[in-house]
Chains A and B, each alone.
Chain A
Amino acid sequence: MTGSSLQGLLSGSIIAGTPLLYATLGEIIGERAGIVNLGLEGVMLMGAVVGFSTTVQTGNPALGVFAAALAGALFNTIFGFLVIERRANQLASGLALMFCGVGLSALLGAPYIGSQIKGLNEIRIPILSDLPVAGATLFHYDILVYLVVPIAILVWWALFYTRWGLSLRAVGEKPTAAFAAGKHPYTLQYEALFIAGLLGGIAGAHLSLAVAKTWAEWMTAGRGFVAVALVIFSKWHPLRAIVGALLFGGAIALQLQMQARGVPVSPFLLDMLPYLLSLGVLALWGGARRYAAPASLGQVFRGTE
């Protein structure tokens, strides 16, 4: 492979990995509080459609990102109500949320199919962007790409070095103990899901505003589920998620690069890469998983009844 295609692959991985990382960080926060959300796919779709339509209406992509984050958070709160208030099965509720997101985003997005936007601006970092090789690949992105690693560090700090993070993780490990220690499991879980929704919404917005610059039905194409797999891959750790997102983004970018170069492999087979990679790493990680997962993941806290 030549230098330029390697560069293309790297920058492609970064761009494709960014929405994955936002989504994964959100899912990590939720799962650390003991809640698996398979509805992430739906949350991302809502973020994508709300971000896109807001941008078309206002011409302001920054506003689009804010609206997307808010929409994702509110949408995820529906899921919160089901699994926290109604104690519904988390996996099935997540899938219901996904269906809802698929339908609602299609309905909301129908008038915007084919709309054109300029999308998020690329921000050039002075000096760094003019570096001969690295400059072209590493310093030519939109704001959301630059922000994602600092946000990952922020999430890591919040989870492991603040009182809030400690309480949150306690709820995910053993809610009864956290409750006995004076924490409020339900409140913390709602907070976790709200933040997860914010990040999921931003992930969707990045897809529609920066990557595709258009809206299409079900444009996330399973990336929400890939992000759920990434959480397991990163062993519920925000910093490890950066590596994972880059790797999975690489699988998506590799497929695009090969298609662009006319490699004689069916695009349908190449499209399988991210899903097969997800399955592969999950299988490899399988043995270690149970030690890393929050102990009460997926279980319902029934208070002190």
Chain B
Amino acid sequence: MTSSIRFFGLLGLAFLVFAVLLLAFGKNPLKAYVDIFSSTLGSTYGFSEILVKMIPLTLTAVAVAVPSRIWLINVGGEGQLYIGALFATWGALTLSTLPAWILLPFISVLGVLGGGLWGSISGILRAKGWVSETISTLLLNYVAILLVNFFVFGPWKDLESANYPQTAEFVNAATLPSFAGTRVHAGFVFPLAVLILFYFVLSRTRWGLEMRAIGGNPEAARRSGIPINGYITLLIFIGGGLAGLAGMIEVSAIQGRLRPSLSPGYGFIGFLISWMAGGNPLGIVAAAFLLAIVTAGGDILQMAHGLPGSAVNILNALILFVVLSRQGGKGGVK
């Protein structure tokens, strides 16, 4: 209990340091924070936007949490999200005549497959003992975003939208329906199902036990016959697939088409969330809620306070600093 009070105190410190920084740049930090919280939590619309952001954030966080069970660090969520969106877009554009009840599940599977295969490149490289998954997932982020740019500026460019680099708009059958008046959409069932499944597999199945064994002592796990390399490839595939699903959700429900500015860094923020939560499913929801507010806050700082959009990364980093320095003695994500 005292440790959690101390944790919130330290989180407060992160917000305080950011406030001092805003002050140093001639902004009023109090007004900035009031703006952020009133515009997100103060209105139904603002709150619904937080829920909308929590959908991809929860998925990209689980995308990091799943491989981290065996100490794998997946920093490729952003790239996996883009490739998931790319695959889903292919499905939505080429099979646009199918009815929604076939098309939506189909492009969801495509999203998972795209992100998963992209992640598997890193998984295989790691399982072979060739390249650390941390560095390969990082590098592949850049490649993935360039690949999406290639399609959006090139072969898939919508000729009707003149100078805008974007694909044609999805048909209705490829769009996740949203609830009256808000942008909250049916995609929310995905993170819910994923979290429940994640919890269930970890605590109630043999696979969860074996993952804990690998995480605890890989050598002992290997000697007791647990296929470690299989787990490495599979868990990064699953992680990538979940990030890819987030990409499918973004193109289908939010953007309605594929654009280069698909994500405001959901993959990276998911990484932060997973580390904050220590891989705990409920913790992921709580951290996703906080970080969704911070992400929305980034837009507000940009629009109302004239700060560059990426300045909010400082706050993200400060929060992560606090989390990391607290987990240090214990060795990080368990």
Residues of A within 8 A of B (CB): 38, 78, 82, 86-89, 91-93, 95-100, 102-104, 106-107, 109-110, 217-218, 221-222, 225-226, 228-229, 232, 266, 268-269, 271-272, 275-276, 278-279, 282-283, 286-287, 289-290, 300
Residue from A272, A275, A283 within 8 A of B130 (CB atoms): A283
Give the interface segment out of B82-90, B93-101, B137-145, B197-205.
Answer: B137-145
| 17 A-B contacts (beta carbon < 8 Å) | A82-B328, A88-B324, A89-B328, A91-B134, A95-B75, A100-B321, A103-B310, A103-B314, A110-B307, A110-B308, A217-B310, A222-B141, A272-B147, A275-B140, A279-B139, A282-B125, A286-B125
Residues of B within 8 A of A (CB): 21, 25, 73, 75, 125, 128-131, 134-136, 138-143, 146-147, 149-150, 153-154, 268, 271-272, 275, 307-318, 320-321, 324-325, 327-329, 331-333
Chain A minimum-CB-distance residue to B18: A103
Q: Are A283 and B324 in contact (CB under 8 A)?
A: no
Q: Are A268 and B139 in contact (CB under 8 A)?
A: no
Q: Are A103 and B320 in contact (CB under 8 A)?
A: no
* Nearest CB of chain A from residue B145's CB, rounded to whole Å: 9
* Nearest CB of chain A from residue B281's CB, rounded to whole Å: 20
What does DSSP make chain B's interface, helix, strand, loop or mixed? helix
The CA-CA distance from A143 to B44 in the complex, in Å, is 59
The CA-CA distance from A283 to B126 in the complex, in Å, is 9
* Nearest CB of chain B from residue A255's CB, rounded to whole Å: 11
Q: Are A286 and B307 in contact (CB under 8 A)?
A: no
Interface contacts beyond A91-B73, A279-B140: sample of 5 additional A-B pairs, CB < 8 Å, sorted by A: A95-B268, A102-B310, A103-B316, A268-B154, A286-B125
The CA-CA distance from A101 to B309 in the complex, in Å, is 14
Contacts of A86 in B (CB 8 A): 324-325, 328-329
Q: Are A268 and B149 in contact (CB under 8 A)?
A: yes
Chain A minimum-CB-distance residue to B136: A279
Q: Are A217 and B308 in contact (CB under 8 A)?
A: yes
Chain A minimum-CB-distance residue to B150: A268
* Nearest CB of chain A from residue B79's CB, rounded to whole Å: 10
* Nearest CB of chain B from residue A39's CB, rounded to whole Å: 10
Q: Are A89 and B327 in contact (CB under 8 A)?
A: yes
A96/B321 contact (C-beta < 8 A), A268-B146, A268-B153 known:
yes
Q: Are A82 and B138 in contact (CB under 8 A)?
A: no
Q: Are A286 and B314 in contact (CB under 8 A)?
A: no
Top 8 A-B residue pairs of the complex, sorted by shortest distance between their CB atoms: A286-B130, A103-B313, A100-B317, A103-B314, A86-B325, A99-B317, A88-B324, A96-B320
Contacts of B146 in A (CB 8 A): 268-269, 271-272
Chain A minimum-CB-distance residue to B141: A222
Chain B minimum-CB-distance residue to A94: B134
Q: Are B327 and A88 in contact (CB under 8 A)?
A: yes
> Which of B131, B268, B271, B325 has the most chain A CB atoms closer than 10 A to its own CB?
B131
Q: Are A286 and B128 in contact (CB under 8 A)?
A: yes
Chain B minimum-CB-distance residue to A224: B138
Q: Are A268 and B147 in contact (CB under 8 A)?
A: yes
* Nearest CB of chain A from residue B20's CB, rounded to whole Å: 13
Q: Are A92 and B320 in contact (CB under 8 A)?
A: yes
Contacts of B138 in A (CB 8 A): 38, 222, 225
Q: Are B311 and A103 in contact (CB under 8 A)?
A: yes
A282/B130 contact (C-beta < 8 A), A82-B325, A229-B139 known:
yes
The CA-CA distance from A283 to B136 in the complex, in Å, is 10
* Nearest CB of chain B from residue A189's CB, rounded to whole Å: 15
Residue from B308, B314, B324 within 8 A of A82 (CB atoms): B324
Contacts of B73 in A (CB 8 A): 91-92
Q: Are B21 and A287 in contact (CB under 8 A)?
A: no
The CA-CA distance from A109 to B307 in the complex, in Å, is 11
Contacts of B272 in A (CB 8 A): 99
Q: Are A97 and B317 in contact (CB under 8 A)?
A: yes
Chain B minimum-CB-distance residue to A111: B25
Q: Are B328 and A275 in contact (CB under 8 A)?
A: no
Q: Are A107 and B311 in contact (CB under 8 A)?
A: yes
* Nearest CB of chain A from residue B267's CB, rounded to whole Å: 12
Q: Are B317 and A103 in contact (CB under 8 A)?
A: yes
Contacts of A97 in B (CB 8 A): 317
A100/B318 contact (C-beta < 8 A), A110-B308, A268-B153 known:
yes
Residue from A91, A106, A229 within 8 A of B311 (CB atoms): A106
The CA-CA distance from A203 to B94 in the complex, in Å, is 46
Residue from A98, A107, A229 within 8 A of B135 (CB atoms): A229
Contacts of A286 in B (CB 8 A): 125, 128-131
